[in-house]
Amino acid sequence: MNPSGGFFEYLLGLLKEFFAWLPHVTLAHFLIVSAILFALGIYGIATRRNAILVLMGVELVLNSANINLIAFSRYGGGGLDGQVAAVFVIILAAAEAAIALAIVLNIYHRFQTVNVDDVSTMKE
């Protein structure tokens, strides 16, 4: 038995285990969904040029954090502390969206654009 064949058999075993695990929802299902959502939000923040779309990426990241908090609150046994933390995250997301939108409107009145890489100056 050569080592590469052994490695592929190992990988195949892992895949089989994964697909046998997939149909029955556990904590890790929710966490993986939130991880993918987080990655998509980070991608949006990093690549979008429009400031409004950057804000949408921020909202995706906050939502993924909320899924994590609530999933651990459900599966951790007992208290509702995770849900209360998620309430505070939602409150701060609302405040952040309002402030950020005011800033974006000011930037638009000043520069006539909301592309974040065109607004690279601190001068008048």
Query: By CB under 8 A, is residue 98 in contact with other proteins?
Result: yes
* Among 11, 12, 117, 120, contact with other proteins (rule: CB under 8 A): 117
Residue 119 is a binding residue for other proteins (CB under 8 A): no
Residue indicated by tokens 């991608």: 43
Q: Is position 86 an interface residue for other proteins (rule: CB under 8 A)?
A: yes
Pairwise CA distance, residues 105 & 7, whole Å: 56
Q: What would the two tokens of residue 4 be?
A: 């590469």
- Please give the Cα distance from 111 to 104 (Å, whole number): 10
Give whichever of 5 and 19 is closer to other proteins, judged by the CB atom. Answer: 19
Q: Is 61 among the residues that bind other proteins (CB under 8 A)? A: no
